[in-house]
Amino acid sequence: MTEKNGSDEQAANGWFTEPEGVRLQKVLAAAGVASRRVVEQYIVEGRIEVNGIVVTELGRRIDPEHDLVAVDGVAVQLDPGKRYYMLNKPRGVVSSMRDEKGRPDLREFTDELEERVYNVGRLDGDTSGLLLLTNDGDLAHVLAHPSFGVEKTYIAKVQGRVSPQTLQKLKQGIELEDGPIKVDRAKIRQHQGDDRHSIVELTLHSGRNRIVRRMMAEVGHPVVELVRRSFGPLHLGTLRIGVMRELTDSERGLLLTISREADAARGRNDAASGSSGDSADDRAAADSAGADSADEGES
């Protein structure tokens, strides 16, 4: 009895306290990475990083709200409130959460969600394909900002027979009214039998308004139909047009890895220049506000 009272007195006087944080294996199991037993094996094998440092001790505790965790180099989202969706946007739907002109907008797909999400970047009304929706402001900022170089791949049906020389010209760069632009990669997917149309695949990281349509018109091949097939590491795959789904754990991890690497690079640049940079809240607010405008599009 005396020993117990002594321990109570020690605790009351702050001589020892319970360890802070939550055990790493418990956090990752809750995040759906694997069972606690499997996560423990990952830790022993040195496959888990916390804030960029490999963890090998099983007793490690973390703060899920602030610590950044990665497994095999892929980031893990520990915030259960963050949501990420992929939509195969149909033609005729504008990339806005609220269209002031009364046109069909993204609420058709998001009204039943419990969380408020917003689109990352835009596709114009005549373009279909991959659109990402999320409530993660940091991620949205990185993916939508052209300075971070996130690639998008489009499949375009265009007028006329596109030659290899035309694709080379697009790779080398052309001049538009708002400045020079070039694609990162380009290839001919198919020529139509009557030579009236061609199907080309273009990959670029620019986010300028209707950039694919303007580029193809400039080289003499106006776009007839346009689909965005990929956005960063995300691919439409077999997702049907007009259907939305949550990202898989793997897809979400790849996006978060891009975001964290960009944040780390931005932090190094800010430190070198003496700038404090934008806060996460500022970026989230700006992205959320920008997503409600349907007058600008990426394609």
C-beta separation of 43 from 57 below 8 A: yes
3-state secondary structure of 92: coil
Confidence of residue 24 (pLDDT cuts 50, 70, 90): very high
Write down the pLDDT at residue 23: 94
Q: What is the mean pLDDT of the chain?
A: 85
Looking at residues 208-218, what average pLDDT do you find? 94
Looking at residues 236-262, what average pLDDT do you find? 93
Confidence of residue 145 (pLDDT cuts 50, 70, 90): confident
- pTM of structure: 0.81
Catalytic entry in 67, 99, 105, 124: 124
For the domain spanning 84-252, the CATH number is 3.30.2350.10
Task: Indicate if 124 belongs to the active site.
Answer: yes
Residues 6+ apart with CB under 8 A from 141: 278, 283, 284, 286, 287
Confidence of residue 268 (pLDDT cuts 50, 70, 90): low
Looking at residues 138-144, what average pLDDT do you find? 87
Looking at residues 219-246, what average pLDDT do you find? 96
Type of residue numbered 73: G
- The least confident of 132-136, 235-239, 280-284 is 280-284
Question: What DSSP line would sit under 230-281, residue for residue?
Answer: EETTEE-TTPPTT-EEEPPHHHHHHHHHHHHHHHHHHHHHHHHHT-----HH
Of 102 and 274, which is predicted with more confidence?
Answer: 102
CATH topology of domain 22-73: 3.10.290
Confidence of residue 17 (pLDDT cuts 50, 70, 90): very low
Confidence of residue 16 (pLDDT cuts 50, 70, 90): very low
C-beta separation of 291 from 97 below 8 A: yes
Write down the pLDDT at residue 85: 97
Looking at residues 191-216, what average pLDDT do you find? 90
- Give the orientation angle of helix 137-144 with respect to helix 249-273, to 10 degrees: 80
Rounded CA-CA distance 164/162 in Å is: 7
Looking at residues 126-143, what average pLDDT do you find? 93
- The least confident of 101-110, 225-234, 266-275, 286-295 is 286-295
Confidence of residue 19 (pLDDT cuts 50, 70, 90): low
Q: 35: how many CB neighbours lie within 10 A of its CB?
A: 11
pLDDT tens across 46-79, in order?
999 999 999 999 989 999 999 999 999 999 999 9
Q: How many CA atoms lie within 13 A of 106 on its CB side?
A: 32
Rounded CA-CA distance 83/121 in Å is: 16
Beta pairing class for 223-231 and 197-204: unpaired
Which residue shows structure tokens 């139909």? 225
pLDDT above 90 for 295: no
The domains of the chain are located at 22-73, 84-252
Which residue shows structure tokens 């791949």? 153
Between the alpha carbon of residue 25 and those of residues 29, 58, 71, 100, the distances in Å are: 6, 8, 12, 48
